Amino acid sequence: MAVKTKDEALPRLPAGTWAILGLLTFGERSGYDLKKLIDLSVGHFFSPARSQIYAELRRLVQLGYAREREVSQTDRPDKRNYRVTPAGEAALRRWLDESPLEPDSFKSPFLVKVFFGRLMDPDRLEEQVREYRAGAVSELAELEALEPMIRDEPMTAFPYLTLRAGLSACRHTIRWCDEVLKALREETP
Amino acid sequence: MAVKTKDEALPRLPAGTWAILGLLTFGERSGYDLKKLIDLSVGHFFSPARSQIYAELRRLVQLGYAREREVSQTDRPDKRNYRVTPAGEAALRRWLDESPLEPDSFKSPFLVKVFFGRLMDPDRLEEQVREYRAGAVSELAELEALEPMIRDEPMTAFPYLTLRAGLSACRHTIRWCDEVLKALREETP
DNA sequence: GTCGACATGTAACCAGTTACATGATTAA
DNA sequence: TTAATCATGTAACTGGTTACATGTCGAC
């Protein structure tokens, strides 16, 4: 028999919307909870503002992909939890399997500066490279702290793969910074 | 004596605007030329649409940072070349040295998919990892073709550093894809 | 004569951020 | 009482993309 959902067109949504829907498959959550969850999961390759999360949740409800539920709390302010609907999970699976791969987007004001480094004061440039390197080091520390928590957990096998991508990217960045610092020292003694 | 420009506030412009201004320091160019130049220079960390380039050039002229010049051509359609003004170069240098470092932005619909890989058909996932890997391989080839052209050129010493960042990022991505493919094969034999 | 490269732009839209605004509860 | 964390949202803006629109010139 034909599966009806197979024939329906998927709405064209940005990947981030699907990511939020996906996070709801781990259990119902409020917008506020989602923000924290994002920061320590998909935060390295998708990081929306809080206001956008709330907007996406409203959109998911409107599409029938999520349902809203008021949760009264005595110890804290009330909140609204969202959970994924069967239609939502079906749509998500279809998006994951069928949607053509969109290219990554990477923007780096820092690399723009390095590119035009010949116009910079050498000390300022070195300073900014160090600052950039320090950022990568602290990001690496965060990811390394996460690593033992999710490794060997079967539920997080796939998130673990993306964590490995983040770890490797940070390490590459740090090595590259060291190369650059060395090159700068050699050229301007 | 006081240098007047030191005291004036720099307009807060996105890094991309400064990047376009910076590219004009290599010589006057049209919007069309700039697009091609961007693709093989800063394209890996800043890649605007053509329409945006034209908009930025108009903005730079309005700010007094660039000047426009009609160029009549007999063999091709006429064009408008832009060149940086002294005020423009001074402002650019100040932005490079003084503006606080904005964080990179990285968005990867692909990593979102991997993260939710447990909801995917394993064959579709493997297919998309291969596709992603192929993208990295062809990007690497482009960068490797560029490398001998700019290495050892003193004018391009700084662009060369950013090229090395791109090369190293591509290689890291390819290795990571191979790791993932191996992991997928082991888990679903 | 029509295709591809050259060349410039507008209009509409959408994604996403920042700043603003509100308010509850708990602990110092 | 003041700060911190919890909690949700709106409004204004901006950055950026896509699609549309126009047209030249040279080569086949």
Q: Note the pLDDT of residue A27.
A: 94
Q: Note the pLDDT of residue B82.
A: 96
Q: Note the pLDDT of residue A58.
A: 95
Query: How far is residue B93 CA from its own chain's centroid?
Result: 19
* Token pair 């890094």: residue: B15
Q: Note the pLDDT of residue A70.
A: 86
Q: Note the pLDDT of residue B9.
A: 80
Higher pLDDT, A1 or B148: B148
Reference B180, options A21, B139, A39, B172; nearest CA is B172
Interface touch A108/B112, C-beta < 8 Å: no
Nearest-angstrom CA–CA distance, B17 and B29: 15
Residues 2-61 of B with CB under 8 A from A: 15-16, 18-19, 22, 25, 41-42, 44-46
Residue pLDDT, tens place only, B129-142:
999 999 999 999 99
Nearest-angstrom CA–CA distance, B161 and A183: 9
Q: Note the pLDDT of residue B1.
A: 44
Structure tokens given for A49: 């503002």
**Residue A3: how many other CB atoms lie within 10 Å:** 7
Which positions of chain A have pLDDT values less than 50? 1-4
Nearest-angstrom CA–CA distance, B113 and B96: 37
Q: Does A115 touch chain B (CB under 8 A)?
A: yes
Cβ density class A129-146: b for 16+ within 10 Å, e for less: beebbebbeebbeebeeb
pTM above 0.75, yes or no: yes
pLDDT band (50, 70, 90) for residue B189: low
Does nucleic acid strand C have an atom less than 7 angstroms from the CB of B176?
no
Give a three-class secondary structure readout of A3-52.
CHHHCCCCCCCCHHHHHHHHHHCCCCECHHHHHHHHHCCHHHCCCCCHHH
Q: Does A111 touch chain B (CB under 8 A)?
A: yes
Mean pLDDT (whole number) for B94-107: 96
pLDDT surpasses 70 at B35? yes
